[in-house]
Amino acid sequence: MRTLLLGEALVDLICERPVSHMKEADAFVPHFGGAVANVAVAAARRAAPPPPAGGAGDDAWGGWLRERLEGEGVDLDWFGLLPGVLTPVAFVTVDLRGEPSYAIYGDTIEAVIEALQDRLGAAVDGCDALFVTSNTLVGERERALTLRARERALEQGKPVLVDPNLRLHRWREPAQAATEARGLVRDAFLVKCNGEEARLLTGEDEPEAAVEGLLAAGARHAVVTRGPGGAVVRGGGLKLDMPGVPAHPISTVGAGDVFMGTLVAGLAATRFYPPAIAAALSDAVEEGARATERWGALG
């Protein structure tokens, strides 16, 4: 089954040593970036390549990104390189705790809009499920595109998967980010949040309470990750607390995307059979932990 991934793909330029400030960085190495690219590659590596829906610029970095996505076996039917658009890049530094800071250059959503505004309906119709994040909700044009895709998928009875992937620096107010992201929860087949995202969406500090809050908001199934503490899943009769696995983290960049890509692959392999969420959770926790042990989500 094909899960259409709606959102941004960009290039992460990562300083592969811990620093306390961007000015201390002395070299950067290119990696896959953006939730869509990371989820797509993580799923493709488990033999379930979902098509990203969007694009990049028809420039050197866009060619770099497309060539490597293609090399990973990612389905590029709905991913285009657009003349006159600059592929966005993110300069990324990581501190001693493994926490990243980003300086993004370029409009990361422009390519999505330009690539899909006339093809969105065909893209949704041609796939079996839809994955969305809040990153395409910030501006009016991309928000309308995202909500249109969501409603079309739901009307056709297709599973909608949601990862808020909240980047609060993109929003004028955190409350607006939470409100818009909360609007994606209703009727979603699966909502995956980290602890802070779950708190913003539900008001609950504890993951176990937050996951129940996501179900109360209309999600059919919900997963809340707990960093090194693993993850909890609830909904549809599922109730599972998955412990974390030992890791030696150096960077948390994209670890949640790898977790989500692993879940997407497990669900696609079973035609979105709900118990597959529990079955895939162990692999997702493992792969998310391994992602923290390398520079860049996917090495």
Q: What tens digit of pLDDT does each residue of 277-289 get?
A: 999 999 999 999 9
* Mean pLDDT score of the chain: 94
Which whole-number Å values give the CA distances from 175 to 172, 183, 198, in the listed order? 9, 12, 13
Could you tell me if 112 and 136 are in contact, meaning their C-beta atoms sit under 8 angstroms apart? yes
CA distance linking residue 247 with residue 288, whole number of Å:
10
Alpha carbon distance 138, 126 (integer Å): 26
Helix ranges (DSSP H) in the chain: 35-44, 60-71, 110-116, 120-125, 140-155, 174-182, 195-202, 207-216, 255-269, 275-291
Tell me which range, 44-48, 114-118, 168-172, is most confidently predicted by mean pLDDT: 44-48
Does the domain at 3-291 match CATH 2.30.30.40? Answer given as no
d(CA 208, CA 120): 36
Task: Supply φ then ψ for residue 170, to 5 degrees.
Answer: -85, -10
Confidence of residue 110 (pLDDT cuts 50, 70, 90): confident
Stretch 20-37: mean pLDDT, rounded? Answer: 94
Q: Please provide residue 221's backbone torsions phi and psi, each rounded to the nearest 5 degrees.
A: -140, 150
Over its C-alpha atoms, the chain yields an Rg (Å, rounded) of 18
- Convert the pLDDT of each residue in 226-272 to its tens digit: 999 999 999 999 999 999 999 999 999 999 999 999 999 999 999 99
Confidence of residue 106 (pLDDT cuts 50, 70, 90): confident
100 pairs with which residues across the strands? 94
pTM for the model stands at: 0.95
Identify any residues that bridge with 232 across adjacent strands, giving them in sequence order: 224, 241
